[in-house]
Amino acid sequence: MPGQRSITEAEKLAEAKLGGSSFRHDQMAVVANIYRAASAVRQHLENSVLRGVDLTWTAFVVLWVVWIWGESETRHVAEEAGISKGTLTGVARTLERRGLVQRADHPTDGRLVLLSLTDEGEQLMQRVFPAFNEEEAFVTGQLSDADCRTVADGLRRVVLQVEEKGEERRRDLLEGAAPAPRRSGRRKA
Amino acid sequence: MPGQRSITEAEKLAEAKLGGSSFRHDQMAVVANIYRAASAVRQHLENSVLRGVDLTWTAFVVLWVVWIWGESETRHVAEEAGISKGTLTGVARTLERRGLVQRADHPTDGRLVLLSLTDEGEQLMQRVFPAFNEEEAFVTGQLSDADCRTVADGLRRVVLQVEEKGEERRRDLLEGAAPAPRRSGRRKA
DNA sequence: CGGTATTTGTTCGGGTCCAAATCATACTTC
DNA sequence: GAAGTATGATTTGGACCCGAACAAATACCG
């Protein structure tokens, strides 16, 4: 395992600005770089393989989830894709309009909607996924297989921490105070 | 260094679906978990410290960049914040309307616009950053300081790879083909 | 000096994104 | 079976988001 990699200019500046006061430096670097990496990877994938087939990142993720899981209830798709139910409604509509996914009523529960790939969607994924995976390999090109497992492992622990303890943490932080509604959002009619 | 962490259900399903064909498994796990972690962290931060002061993630990042770098040209702020110039124009307008940042013309180059924090913006960041950093520590709570450095190191290499070799890679992939314009976007007048 | 090319920030079209409100269907309880 | 509750998906308002088109200013070049 090589030692500490080069720190970015921004991180040095932050160190200088905040060096006096006490703060969690290593933890800040993780969060900052998670986000930088996510943006960089998304940007690269959208501008390489996805643009050519006219898919946004989110649209691709939704397709991927339905591809891997097979016909699924929309609530599960939204959960797995990491987007809200409301967003999924719009994205699914776009994909349906393009003939890549189809909706179906649940046989016994009239509230549920099932999503599945059309033949065209299935063919698209068989064609696009290998190219997508190639670029996943490209963006991680500076990491060995072992490095990849280590990084993925660390990230999974971050996800787990938030999923398992996040809600409680947010409750404790508010200390019974009102949860402060979002500024944007629907108003009462 | 502990061994492999528990794999998520989705990753197992993907393995089953794709196990037959050849693909880069460890690299896929890195990309998938980068994005999952980014969403989880953003969600937690927005719903804990940011909501209370009515800031979105992006608005906070922009404030943070201007706070750390001091008065800066907008192109650099956009670059550092990881958003496009066009998006920054809108976010900066929102922040200006709320009295947190101010614009100024560049003394010698009339094309440039400089962004800086107002006193109110400065005070807000002094108040909010410690709380933000607390939550950065929370989300990384399952990682040791050394783990954090390892993960941040790996992520920096991903960012570096895309920044240094991404453009060339995309050129090579297209092989001279037209870069396929975005479906959405402004049309010629 | 007079163009032409480049570099800025801004505008804009289409699309995402969240969470609150709302609509629709199921379940529960009397 | 009617009222009330729970659980779905959808609609909606405001904010983001990108990248192409654009306008303005600067840089380059003959």
Give the burial class of A118: count Cβ atoms within 10 A of its Cβ; 0-12 exposed, 13-18 middle, 19 or more buried.
Answer: middle
- A60 in the same domain as A38: no
Number of structural domains found in chain B: 2
Give the burial class of B96: count Cβ atoms within 10 A of its Cβ; 0-12 exposed, 13-18 middle, 19 or more buried.
Answer: middle
Query: Measured between alpha carbons, how far is A189 from B104 in angstroms, rounded to an integer?
Result: 41
Neighbouring C-beta atoms of residue A59, cutoff 10 Å: 20
Does the model's pTM come out above 0.85?
Answer: yes
- Asked whether residue A28 is assigned to any structural domain, the reply reads yes
Check CB contact under 8 Å for B65 and A10.
yes
Q: Which of A81, A103, A121 is the last residue of a domain?
A: A121
Residue B20 has what pLDDT? 66
Query: Measured between alpha carbons, how far is B172 from B166 in angstroms, rounded to an integer?
Result: 10
- B47 in the same domain as B79: no
Query: In chain B, which residues have pLDDT < 70?
Result: 1-8, 19-20, 176-179
CA–C1' nearest nucleotide, residue B188:
D21
- Looking at strand D, which nucleotides approach a protein CB closer than 7 A? 7-22, 24-27
- A61 in the same domain as A18: no
Nearest chain A CA: its distance from B27 CA (Å): 5
Residue B176 has what pLDDT? 65
For residue A183, what is the nearest residue in chain B, using CA coordinates? B54
Residue A3 has what pLDDT? 45
Residue B90 has what pLDDT? 95
Q: What is the pLDDT of residues B66-118, one digit of tens each?
A: 999 999 999 999 999 999 999 999 999 999 999 999 999 999 999 999 999 99
- Looking at strand C, which nucleotides approach a protein CB closer than 7 A? 7-22, 24-27
Buried b (16+ CB within 10 A) or exposed e, B67-94: bbbeebbbeebbebbbbeeeebeebbee
- Asked whether residue B33 is assigned to any structural domain, the reply reads yes
Neighbouring C-beta atoms of residue A51, cutoff 10 Å: 18
- B61 in the same domain as B21: no
Residue B2 has what pLDDT? 42
- Asked whether residue B109 is assigned to any structural domain, the reply reads yes
- B46 in the same domain as B2: yes
- Asked whether residue B172 is assigned to any structural domain, the reply reads no
CB of A105 lies under 7 Å from some atom of strand D? no
Of B17, B140, B154, the CB nearest to A68: B17
- B67 in the same domain as B40: no
- A71 in the same domain as A23: no
Strand partners, A73: A114
Query: Measured between alpha carbons, how far is B42 from B48 in angstroms, rounded to an integer?
Result: 10
Window A24-43, strand D contacts by Cβ < 7 Å: 39, 43
Query: Measured between alpha carbons, how far is B34 from A56 in angstroms, rounded to an integer?
Result: 17
Strand partners, A113: A105
Q: What is the pLDDT of residues A21-69, one digit of tens each?
A: 778 889 999 999 999 999 999 999 999 999 889 899 999 999 999 999 9
Classify residue B53 by its DSSP letter. Answer: T
CATH number of the structural domain spanning residue A63: 1.10.10.10
Q: Are A38 and B32 in contact (CB under 8 A)?
A: no
CB of B51 lies under 7 Å from some atom of strand D? no
Residue B75 has what pLDDT? 95
Domain hosting A91: range is 54-121
- Asked whether residue B108 is assigned to any structural domain, the reply reads yes
Buried b (16+ CB within 10 A) or exposed e, A147-180: bbbbbbbbbbbbbbbbeebbeebbeebeeeeeee
- Asked whether residue A69 is assigned to any structural domain, the reply reads yes
- A70 in the same domain as A42: no
- In three-state secondary structure terms, B116 is strand
Query: In chain A, which residues have pLDDT < 50?
Result: 1-3
Q: Are A115 and A71 in contact (CB under 8 A)?
A: yes
- B114 in the same domain as B82: yes
- B61 in the same domain as B6: no
- Asked whether residue A173 is assigned to any structural domain, the reply reads no
When scoring A7, A17, A35, A60 by the number of chain B Cβ atoms within 10 A, the one with the most, hence best to mutate, is A35
Q: How many CA atoms lie within 13 A of B20 on its CB side?
A: 1
- A115 in the same domain as A63: yes
Residue A81 has what pLDDT? 92
CB of B92 lies under 7 Å from some atom of strand D? no
- A61 in the same domain as A10: no
Q: Are B113 and B85 in contact (CB under 8 A)?
A: no
Nearest chain A CA: its distance from B94 CA (Å): 13
For residue A181, what is the nearest residue in chain B, using CA coordinates? B51
